């Protein structure tokens, strides 16, 4: 029988005993003066980055979208040297990433189309047709149709007014500057 059970406080020791005598039945390990468990010390610094297949897929997709390696490292929460250290295989294939992504999409669509998915069959036909058009445009020398062309910068009210005032002629045209006579 434990002392606190004899005193009549049940199976748990009184707070005063837990605080001053370091009774460890609550936490199962050593406790400090206030009864809180003493935590084990960990190594110094941040834990090292570990390569995962999920992160590798993210890197490959971002490289296929022409995102810079520095920005990808920021997305992963690591430094640029750590990124180059762990993802060197993905970086070495960065130039082929868009083509590899397209090949993977075509393979998935083909598998779905062979399984009888009509929507996948239509999407596959559309992708193949778009690719053929781009190749024909390249061989003929015509520029390929651009998707997502950047729009020209929109002018504000004052810039529009200035531009409109530059082209005024006729009765409302500004007078010519005075000529110098010698």
Q: Mean pLDDT check: name the lowest of 11-15, 50-54, 113-117.
A: 11-15
Question: DSSP states of 9-27 as a string?
Answer: --SSPPHHHHHHH---TTT
Please, which residues bridge with residue 31 across strands? 37
Give residue-wise pLDDT tens across range 76-104. Answer: 889 999 999 999 898 888 888 888 888 99
- In the three-class reduction of DSSP (H, G, I as helix; E, B as strand; rest coil), residue 104 is classed as helix
User: 24 falls in which pLDDT band (50, 70, 90)?
Assistant: very low
pTM confidence score: 0.48
């Amino acid at each position: 029988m434990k002392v606190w059970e004899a005193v009549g406080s049940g199976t748990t020791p009184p707070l005063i005993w837990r605080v001053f005598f370091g009774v460890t039945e609550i936490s199962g390990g050593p406790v400090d003066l206030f009864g809180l468990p003493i935590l084990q010390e960990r190594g110094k610094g941040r834990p090292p980055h570990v390569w995962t297949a999920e992160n590798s897929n993210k890197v490959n997709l971002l490289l296929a979208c022409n995102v810079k390696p520095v920005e990808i490292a920021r997305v992963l929460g690591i430094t640029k040297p750590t990124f180059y250290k762990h993802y060197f295989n993905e970086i070495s294939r960065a130039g082929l990433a868009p083509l590899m992504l397209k090949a993977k999409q075509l393979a998935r669509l083909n598998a779905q189309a062979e399984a009888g998915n009509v929507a996948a069959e239509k999407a596959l036909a559309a992708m193949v047709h778009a690719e053929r058009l781009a190749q024909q445009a390249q061989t003929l020398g015509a520029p390929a149709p651009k998707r997502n062309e950047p729009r020209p910068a929109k002018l504000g009210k004052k810039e529009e007014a200035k531009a409109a005032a530059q082209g005024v002629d006729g009765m409302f045209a500004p007078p010519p500057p005075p000529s110098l006579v010698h």
